Amino acid sequence: MKLIKYLSPLWLFFLFQTTFLIAAQPIFPPVAKPFSAYNFNVKDIDGTQYKLSDYRGKVVVLNFWATWCPPCREEMPSMNRAHHKLENDNIIILAINVGEDEDTIFEFTGNYPVDFPLLMDQTGNVIKRYPVMGLPTTYIINPAGLVTHRTVGGRAWDDDTLLNELRRMQTSAGK
Amino acid sequence: MNTEDKQLSSIYKQAKQEIPAEHIDDAILAAAKRETKKFSLPYNPFSNTWRVSASLAAVLILSFGIVTLIEDVEDEFTLDGVTPLIIEETESRQLPANNVEKRRALAKAPSTARAKSSLQQPAAKSLSDTSNAEMTHDLLSFREQDKKRNEQLARKNKQEAQRTKLQTESTDQISLSPALPLSSPSTITTGIDEQAMLPYWQYKDEGMSIRLIQRLPDQTRGYFIARGFSAKHAELIAQSCVFQTVFKNTSNTGEPSAIVYNMENWVVSHNGKSGGMKTREKWAMQWQELNVPAAAKLAFEWGLLPTRQDYQPGDYNWGMAIFDLAPADNFNLKITWQQHNEQHSVIIPKMLCAADIHADPEAP
């Protein structure tokens, strides 16, 4: 009991310090200089046309991915959960598949059900308009159509801290 | 009880109870206090400090242990959660590993036939033509075959690793540039990747980690043929030296700092000669000359580790790193990057390209 008495304050101090360090990390790394998002006009796997400018006024999470990319596959379920959590927040998730066809993406959705639009960039024309170096890369586009943040590699997109940050971006843009 | 006992008992009962005199009692007490005083130190408010110090040390050790453990678990999760190699095995399963003619024949087959024969890319429309039961049976059968194939490959690779003294985890001497702070706990490790069951080489310090995992030439053939390369062109890649690579900025767990690297500055040393990496840009020129289909070029481009990249804390990429060497070649790799406003470099010694080995034919 005495040992617990001595350790308790130190453990609390340690926990506080750890929490502080974690909280100090930026949730989405900002891009060095915000830039205008390329206004693509592409189809999804069902043939529906999607134009980025249709989402002006909303925060858009734009993900570049491929089915063969392990971190892309890994983050897709959490992205789908995030989509459902954000349905009433005016925040849109769009995932652009790079270089693959409908059949490949359709098969992928058999194993990884996705309810947000899966767009296709078979020729690579869209990805070339963004400074993507590796997959997955995800951009956050603000309601004014500017790319403000970027993440490289998979994330747990349904994490509440991360979702609240997106909501904050959407709310602050409306003010 | 006899008569004598009874008499003795009555005598004891009649006798007075033995109580020492008060002055004797006090004398005994005083003597005892004198004796105990000899061994007690004078009162010191800091006499219990060692307990606090010991507690502090225990907390620090436990904290360090937990943080290290969390970091390792995170690594394991990220590296081993889903690996491409199992899927690529699935693709290469379609190509008899030890039968080049069959592989070439399959490559020459119409693309629709290839798509149907590949588990990775079955035509979605054909799903409606195939009953679920058949599909399930096929999948289970494929998975069993893949499992067997993986086990065979694992055995062969373990033998290969034993031959090259790589089987057990080992820490090599690290060659560090003067710019790398000597205090950083950096390590190079080699071993067998748990998922790929192939040898890996890993460098890790406080802010960065890179793991290069061997890829078998046959995996590479299967992967690229499934993405539109001809057998001839896939062979060009397979006969190079390919590693699946995971590059991470891990500084989000410590002092956050971006990483910038340019693979064109990395140096490959083989047989006393030094050269550069074969980047996606160099390959792109070659594919242009060989008129490789656009879809295949695109898949190749994004399948490789970026030539240049900047990673913010927590960012990472997976991708193939291709060296202009042959299967089974040995080499040293010098990696350079910038972080914390400093130039860092490390030489990973004695790396080994995967040999062009083939799995044994399936037992009937």
Stretch A31-58: mean pLDDT, rounded? 97
Stretch B41-52: mean pLDDT, rounded? 58
A78 or B28, greater pLDDT: A78
Looking at the predicted structure, is the pLDDT value of residue B47 above 70? no
The complex's ipTM works out to 0.82
What does pLDDT average to over chain B? Answer: 73
Stretch B12-28: mean pLDDT, rounded? 71
Q: What is the pTM of this model?
A: 0.64
Looking at the predicted structure, is the pLDDT value of residue B1 above 80? no
Stretch B298-318: mean pLDDT, rounded? 95
- The pLDDT value recorded for residue A6 is 57
Residue A93's Cα: distance from chain center in Å? 7
Residue B48 burial by Cβ neighbours in a 10 Å radius (0-12, 13-18, 19+): exposed
Subunit contact A26:B115, Cβ cutoff 8 A: no
Subunit contact A107:B124, Cβ cutoff 8 A: yes
- The pLDDT value recorded for residue B273 is 95
CA distance A28 to A159: 12
B340 — pLDDT class (breaks 50, 70, 90): very high
Looking at the predicted structure, is the pLDDT value of residue B228 above 50? yes
Chain A residues 38-57 within an 8 A CB cutoff of chain B: none
Subunit contact A134:B306, Cβ cutoff 8 A: yes
Looking at the predicted structure, is the pLDDT value of residue B353 above 90? yes
A131 touches chain B (CB under 8 A): no
Minimal CA–CA distance to B352: which of B236, B191, B222?
A: B191
B138 or A116, greater pLDDT: A116
- The pLDDT value recorded for residue B4 is 74
- The pLDDT value recorded for residue B82 is 30
- The pLDDT value recorded for residue A100 is 94
% of residues, chain B, pLDDT over 90: 46
**Is beta strand B330-339 parallel, antiparallel or unpaired with respect to B267-270?**
antiparallel
Looking at the predicted structure, is the pLDDT value of residue B215 above 60? yes
Stretch A54-83: mean pLDDT, rounded? 96
A80 — pLDDT class (breaks 50, 70, 90): very high
% of residues, chain B, pLDDT over 70: 58
- The pLDDT value recorded for residue B147 is 57
A24 — pLDDT class (breaks 50, 70, 90): very low
- The pLDDT value recorded for residue B329 is 97
Stretch B341-364: mean pLDDT, rounded? 85
B17 or B75, greater pLDDT: B17
Looking at the predicted structure, is the pLDDT value of residue B133 above 80? no
Q: Is the dihedral angle over the CA atoms B126, B127, B129, B130 positive or is it negative?
A: positive
Subunit contact B317:A99, Cβ cutoff 8 A: no
Looking at the predicted structure, is the pLDDT value of residue A48 above 60? yes
Test mutation, B63, B298, B307, B320, chain A, max A CBs within 10 A? B298
Q: Are B309 and B247 in contact (CB under 8 A)?
A: yes
Count other C-beta atoms under 10 Å from residue B307's C-beta: 17
B149 or A84, greater pLDDT: A84
- The pLDDT value recorded for residue B141 is 46
B28 — pLDDT class (breaks 50, 70, 90): confident
Stretch B83-104: mean pLDDT, rounded? 33
Q: Which residues contact B18 (CB under 8 A, 6 or more apart)?
A: none
Nearest chain A alpha carbon to B254: A21
Q: Which residues in chain B are closer than 8 Å to A99, comparing Cβ atoms?
A: 295, 298-299, 302
Stretch A21-28: mean pLDDT, rounded? 55
CA distance B364 to B356: 24
A71 touches chain B (CB under 8 A): yes
Contacts by residues B332-336 (CB-CB < 8 Å, ≥ 24 positions apart):
B332/B268, B332/B269, B332/B270, B333/B201, B333/B212, B333/B266, B333/B267, B333/B268, B333/B269, B334/B266, B334/B267, B334/B268, B334/B269, B335/B203, B335/B210, B335/B261, B335/B266, B336/B177, B336/B261, B336/B262, B336/B265, B336/B266
B30 or A158, greater pLDDT: A158
- The pLDDT value recorded for residue B23 is 79
Stretch A37-58: mean pLDDT, rounded? 97
Stated as kind and residue range, the H or E segment containing B102 is helix B100-108
- The pLDDT value recorded for residue A47 is 96
Subunit contact B124:A71, Cβ cutoff 8 A: no
B72 — pLDDT class (breaks 50, 70, 90): very low
B42-56, B158-172, B317-331: least confidently modelled range: B158-172
% of residues, chain A, pLDDT over 70: 84
B27 or B257, greater pLDDT: B257
Q: Which residues in chain A are closer than 8 Å to B312, comparing Cβ atoms?
A: 26, 29, 150-152
- The pLDDT value recorded for residue B112 is 31
Looking at the predicted structure, is the pLDDT value of residue B351 above 90? yes
A35 — pLDDT class (breaks 50, 70, 90): very high
Stretch A73-90: mean pLDDT, rounded? 96
Test mutation, B49, B55, B67, B129, chain A, max A CBs within 10 A? B55
Q: Are A126 and A40 in contact (CB under 8 A)?
A: yes
Stretch A126-136: mean pLDDT, rounded? 96
